[in-house]
A and B are shown apart, each in its own frame.
Chain A
Amino acid sequence: MTTSRKHDAGGLPGDFAIWIFIFAELLVFGVFFLAYAFSRANNVELFNESQLHLNRIAGAANTVVLLTSSYFVVRAVAAIRADNARRCGHWLLSAIGMGSVFLVIKMFEFGEKFSAGISLSTNTFFMFYLSLTFFHFMHVILGIVILAAVLLKARSGGYSAANHTGVETGASYWHMVDLVWLILFPLVYVIH
């Protein structure tokens, strides 16, 4: 009941604590993006040249993968609101699957860069590229862990249409992970 009332009032879905966490995370990434922007302004040529070495196809594929996973999470929340815990579980599992695909593609990309001898110390651009994508990578892993915990509880019948704050909490975090990538991808891979 509390959850539905919150929605009527336009409040934040999920547990309030996760939102403090989400804002804190967004702040860290925000500061990182700003630092990237300032550094780029001072080294436009270096950044443009180095950017050409990134695998944009892998990046674009991962964007689609994460967006799809977010869609699945939305369906999971919709399913539990319709009191269908079983379907909610299926959608969550699909979202976790897409998250894992993201990790695989990203590891392939990291492998590519490391085997080309690129490291954090190669230049400022690659320092940012590797740091940002690595920190984001760790967040995808954390997001998967959170979704998995929600999935386990959903399967054991822990959520219902009346009480599903946990599903919304996990979904909110996952959308944050997705959102960060939606800024990271164009900023680091595309914008020239």
Chain B
Amino acid sequence: MQYSSQAVAKPYFIAAIGLFIGQILFGLIIGTQYVIGDFLFPEIPFNVARMVHTNLLIVWLLFGFMGAAYYLVPEEAERELFSPKLAIAMFWIFLVAGALTIVGYLAVPYATLAAATGNDLLPTMGREFLEQPTITKIGIVVVALAFLYNIGMTIITGRKTVINIVLLTGLTGLAVFFLFSFYNPINLVLDKMFWWWVVHLWVEGVWELIMGAILAFVLIRLTGVDREVIEKWLYVIIAMALITGIIGTGHHYYWIGTPEYWQWWGSIFSALEPIPFFMMTVFAFTMVNRRRKEHPNKAATLWALGCAVMAFLGAGVWGFLHTLAPVNFYTHGSQITAAHGHMAFYGAYVLIVITMISYAWPHLHHKAPAANGRAQLFEMWSFWIMTISIVFITLFLTGAGILQVYLQRVSDTPLPFMVVQDKIALFYWLRLWTGVIFFVGLCLYVYSFFAKDNKSLASS
């Protein structure tokens, strides 16, 4: 660690991992409720648990991105963070607001929460992923603004690198598009249209910039390849991500009441969305193959390569599977979507945050470039267990999805939704048990932070 203010990243990373555990626990709860409908009912209904599962995911990824930015920006800008105190203050505000929101979800019925938080004054609640009470949303905006100010001032007054600029652009986009969560038109078509401006333009737009910047930063450090080479790659990847991703939003506009031309625009542009992800995979492997040094942090390299591959598979390939309008006509809103969602989020965003943590943590905690060998071994085991689990979760959900689409929508004698759900229950059981294995992998990951090397084990 070159600058002492980089240390503010530490609490962000700890919170991210803590909330990640919560997210997976709630994932296991809803996975169980898929097959045992009244599990934990009425204490934790399915819709609430699902909301907690997805909201925790988004919040912990945001913690991860912010931590990554606080670690990365000073080193790139070659100066201390503009205001470490502001970063710590925002950490606590964000954590407390997030925790209160989750408690609110779990403690009272959603409608009560809406009434208690004054949703009728500025109605923003009730939409998937944007369920947060309006006051929480305002809190998110305040935290985002303070964060951008802090990062922005550091970058403006320091060395400007492509990585810093791309990261700042991505983070600014993240904040700007979140503002559409306050726009809640009565017209359902418009509502859905702009809802995607948050959801799609985040994960298939500006978040890709953040991911590209973090990956480039870590690869420069791990491989010692020239910055110029890596920056050129970053430019091209970002250009492709934006060319395909922005109009690619159209793949959500097929059946929501928008004009028909979106079926063409959406299909054509989003069909090309796998390209930037594929380029990212080629980029990561090329850089590692051309490395000029052997970095002792092998685990971080594994996470980085895994991130590139899994992002391509989850976001690229599984996205392409159902992105063309004629296919999507049958598959939209089915388990195919769930399969894609799980692998894409894990591959692209969970893994990029863990990559950053894996690279930064030894510097933050041990003042060393890498954790001890045994800790790295646990990290690598956790990588493989979680990754293989998510591959199987994706495959089981894809199987469930194909059957669901066929039985419910394609066959000559279509069956009702719930009848089909019963018929594909086997896949949900398989998914649940794989989820348990994923959780084991996550526990190993957490354990790796405390794992001592063999020498200290022997001496103690």
Contact = CB atoms under 8 A, between A and B. Distances in A.
Contacts of B271: 31
Contacts, number: 39
Interface residues of A, number: 16
B272 A31 contact: yes
Interface in B246-302: 259-261, 264-265, 267-269, 271-272, 275
A120 B260 CA distance: 9
Contact of B243 (A28, A31, A35): A28
B440 interface: no
Interface string A105-148: 00000000000000011000001100100000000000000000
- By secondary structure, the A interface counts as helix
Given A24-B240, A24-B243, A17 B232 contact: yes
Interface in A23-46: 24-25, 27-28, 31-32, 35
A71 interface: no
Nearest to B244: A28
B165 to A, nearest CB: 16
A127 B244 CA distance: 19
What size tier do the contact residues of chain B reach?
10 to 19
A31 B259 contact: no
B239 interface: yes
A113 B235 CA distance: 37
B235 A17 contact: yes
A80 to B, nearest CB: 23
B264 A127 contact: yes
B236 interface: yes
Contacts of A28: 243-244, 268-269, 272
Nearest to B267: A35
Given A17-B235, A24-B239, A31 B260 contact: no
A17 B231 CA distance: 11
Contacts of A21: 236, 239
Given A17-B232, A28-B268, A120 B275 contact: no
Contacts of B275: 24, 27
17 contacts: A17-B232, A17-B236, A24-B240, A24-B243, A24-B275, A27-B272, A28-B243, A28-B244, A28-B272, A31-B272, A35-B264, A35-B268, A121-B259, A121-B260, A121-B261, A127-B261, A127-B264
